[in-house]
Structure 1
Amino acid sequence: MKFIFIYNANSGKLNALLDGVHKLLSPKTYPCSLCALTYDAFSEKKTWKNFREKSNTDLIFYHKDEFEAIFPNVKVEYPSVLKLMDNQLTTILNNEKLNSIQSVEELIEILKNRF
């Protein structure tokens, strides 16, 4: 079993820089709640990094362009968290749920209950 995290952002250094600036200047309009929960403007939050590194579950992270290249026939709204088990993808947290989560600690608690 693997958990796939898909950010509502494209990959690349320029996109990361633009996203960081967007988070700083207008955090309420930033389109990726998963990014906002797990990253500060330019670096991964310590709480999230500790959780991710200590997790016994296989966690895979994609930007939306990377996900679409690997799974071209899978349609999901971004951001999302999916479970991959027996070659089947299941949505664990959709964008609506991710948008309602208030802190990285809350996200971690929800994920712990899903593992």
Structure 2
Amino acid sequence: MKKLIFVYNGDSGLINGVMHYLHKRISPDTYPCQLCGIIYDGTSLNKDWLVFIKSLGIPTEFLHRDEYQRQYGKSALLWPAVLLHEGQQFKAVVLSADDFANITSLDILKQRLVEFLNREFPTLNRA
């Protein structure tokens, strides 16, 4: 089954999480994970984002870069990124780190994902 994997440009763990949170609050312009900056409201996921993700009609997974490496192996990709996988197999980059440099809002992120899904899965049943 195909799924979208969202990979954060940060490592997992409590200490890393606290450091990410503080960095986003103190110096958001230098925070290295545009994905986190867009989809999180402080410490929790944006409610509009959660509704949107559930409406996509395709499974999703959210991983930190170290979790991605443990689960799927090393990658030369830069993070953050959104990937298309089929099972354990990488299929395509949906949104690259370079793309995220131009994604400045939740609305733009949602639009880009819908464009990809409409192109790749024209018959996908979205809620």
TM-score (norm. length: structure 2): 0.83
RMSD: 1.4
Does residue 108 (structure 1) correspond to residue 103 (structure 2)? The answer is no
Q: Structure 1 regions of 5+ residues with no counterpart?
A: none
Counterpart-to-counterpart distance in 2, 1:52 and 1:88: 20
Aligned to 2:10: 9
Work out whether residues 22 and 30 of structure 1, in 8 Å CA contact, stay in contact via their aligned partners in 2: yes
Counterpart-to-counterpart distance in 2, 1:35 and 1:50: 17
Q: Which sits farther off after the overlay, 66-75 or 23-32?
A: 66-75
Matches within 5 A, 1:1-115: 1-85=2-86, 87-115=89-117
What's the % identity of the aligned pairs?
Answer: 31
Q: CA, structure 1 residues 74+89, in 2 after alignment: closer, same or farther (shift >3 Å)? A: farther
Work out whether residues 82 and 95 of structure 2, in 8 Å CA contact, stay in contact via their aligned partners in 1: yes
TM-score (norm. length: structure 1): 0.91
- Which has more radius of gyration? 2
1:14 Cα deviation after fit: 2.0
Counterpart-to-counterpart distance in 2, 1:53 and 1:88: 22
Q: Structure 2 regions of 5+ residues with no counterpart?
A: 118-127
Work out whether residues 8 and 36 of structure 2, in 8 Å CA contact, stay in contact via their aligned partners in 1: yes
Query: Where has structure 1 moved over 4 Å in runs of 4 or more?
Result: none
Work out whether residues 10 and 63 of structure 1, in 8 Å CA contact, stay in contact via their aligned partners in 2: yes
Work out whether residues 47 and 105 of structure 1, in 8 Å CA contact, stay in contact via their aligned partners in 2: no
Aligned to 2:120: none
1:103 Cα deviation after fit: 0.5
1:89 Cα deviation after fit: 2.5
